[in-house]
A and B are shown apart, each in its own frame.
Chain A
Amino acid sequence: MNKQEYLNALRDALEKQSISNIDNMIEYYDEMICDRMEDGMSEEDAVNSMDSITDIVHEAVLDKSVPTLVKEKVKKSRDKAKSEGKEWIWILLAVLGFPVWFPLVLTFAILLFVFFLVFWILVGTLFIIVLALGISAVACFLTSFTVLFGYISFPGFVVSLGGALALAGITILLWKPIVAFSKVAAGFFKDIIISIKKKFI
């Protein structure tokens, strides 16, 4: 297979999967082959040493969003039924099954949305708590200075300064675990999305 044949086959395969930015990808793989040839490989060797078209398409499909993948999967099954002249089954099932599938899909979507929402609100709340502690620490620290102007007594000064230091300490102590927790949570959601994607490939 020469370079042009490989790139044409790749373009066809990518188009079949409705991948976006195909031109950019073709440009990238074209450049890769040219660089290999400049490195001393023959055109055929350069093409043979490239990844298989199946692998490239697989990587590109994994890069798509979940709604796109679901839509494509449904379209594929519909088209298949259409080509076999069985599209009426789809329509019949969609209409008759509506009272069953619609509440199920809706519940699943709402559950998923609420799950994501609750999780991120929790992360947001933790950050707000740390922020509030930090601001309180600064406020206590500033209050302790008012002893200079006679607004508070000496014991008041000690309490304010002590409070400021304690609050600052708690803020610093909590900061790292909360950031780490958010990162782990973000990674966890990425994994969930990837596993959902794999169900539709």
Chain B
Amino acid sequence: MDSQFRRGILDACVLAVLERGESYGYQLVKDISEFIEISESTLYPILKRLEQTNMLEVFSQEHNGRLRKYYRITPTGRNRITELLNEWAEIVKVYKFIVEERGESHE
């Protein structure tokens, strides 16, 4: 998969998981891995980028005697999901068009 394309998808996945509720790094990797391959080294720059662009906020909370970082989606992040979904709707349209065109040309 094209790296730019994959990155866009992963951004959307992280935001979508966070829309369900705040989460932490390991849980995010587990949740997203159910749909698409992701490792912690891929997740780190994504979290950093989403934080820098104000799409999520980070806070630390005590857990079993240690501090764990949690991530929470912001209104900007929610808007981004809507934007991405609209973009996807367009991509799906193009996908259907290509599939139909190929179907016709093969007949």
Contacts and interface: CB of A to CB of B under 8 A. Distances in A.
A60 to B, nearest CB: 8
Contacts of A25: 44
A56 B25 contact: no
> Chain B interface residue count: which class?
10 to 19
Contact of B4 (A31, A39, A51, A190): A190
Given A36-B26, A190-B4, A31 B68 contact: yes
A187 interface: yes
Contacts of A126: none
Contacts of A38: 64
Interface in A1-57: 25, 27-29, 31-32, 34-36, 38-39, 50-51, 55-56
B54 interface: no
Contact of A187 (B4, B26, B39, B44): B4
The binding surface of chain A is classed by DSSP as helix
A87 interface: no
A79 interface: no
A190 B69 CA distance: 29
A126 to B, nearest CB: 20
A59 interface: yes
A154 to B, nearest CB: 43
Contacts of A59: 41-42, 44-45
A147 to B, nearest CB: 40
Contact of A28 (B3, B25, B39, B64): B25
18 contacts: A25-B44, A28-B25, A28-B44, A29-B40, A32-B29, A32-B40, A35-B24, A35-B25, A35-B27, A38-B64, A39-B26, A55-B39, A55-B41, A59-B41, A59-B44, A60-B45, A62-B45, A194-B4
Interface of A: 25, 27-29, 31-32, 34-36, 38-39, 50-51, 55-56, 59-60, 62-63, 187, 190-191, 194
Interface of B: 3-4, 24-27, 29, 39-42, 44-45, 48, 64, 66, 68-69
